[in-house]
Amino acid sequence: MQAVTKPSRLVGILGGMGPSATADFYTKLIAHTPASLDQEHLRVVIWADPTVPSRQEAILAGGPDPSPWLEAGIGRLIGCGAEIVVVPCNTVHKYLPQIMDGKPTEFISIIDTTIHAVQRDAVGGPIGVLATDGALSAGIFQEALGEAGFGIALPWPEEQTKLMDVVNRVKAGLTGPTLLQDMYSVLASLERQGARTAILGCTELSTLLASDSDDYPVKLIDPAVELAIATISRAIKHT
């Protein structure tokens, strides 16, 4: 990847959903930037608002619509001069295309970058989707994968319950070996359905599992990594 030779375009990160996932994304953005000096890294502004209402409750139970909070956060980033906006949360992408439509800044979708990675790296069979109940209900990944011509494998109900428990424990800062054991069980259920590739479609899972590891039953694609790589490419395009 091309190194940053002059100040990058300003990247705006809308975060806080959740806070650890935002920090993890910024860490990945730094790790994948081809820089040997501070001055070669991207210019970034982060608006992290953990008060955004639950996307799960909004989608599944008619809870408060998070759109006004998202609009306000994006407005703050644009007000800071952001030329690119990214959001390291998968479920919230149910709302973002409409919100970003017509905004005077480039928007890079974590869903689009993930599908590009699937097209590049998938190793056959249906694509496993590890996502929140809300994201699955909204069909965010299922629709995108279907349009790209891929079959889909979802965790069985008991494994999906286990996955949501992992997500909630990560959000609560509760870590330990049982989380990895539970995730291995979920991944194994996808493998038994014929999946050889799976998407870590929740950024809390991105903080827990390393997509470059060979220790799992299926190959993992991390949307946070793919979004970081795409963001770097677009941010330094003019340099």
Q: Token pair 């975060």 is at which residue?
A: 15
89 is catalytic: yes
List CB contacts of 195: < 8 A, sequence separation 6 or more. Answer: 125, 126, 127, 128, 153, 218
80 is catalytic: no
3-class DSSP assignment, residue 204? helix
Beta bridge partners of 13: 46, 86
3-class DSSP assignment, residue 12? strand
Cα 148 to chain centroid, rounded = 18
Which one of 89, 115, 179, 221 is the catalytic residue? 89
What token pair was written down for 39?
């001055």
Which one of 29, 130, 202, 228 is the catalytic residue? 202
CA distance readout (Å), 19 to 23, 63, 137, 155 = 6, 21, 23, 26
Annotated catalytic residues are 89, 202
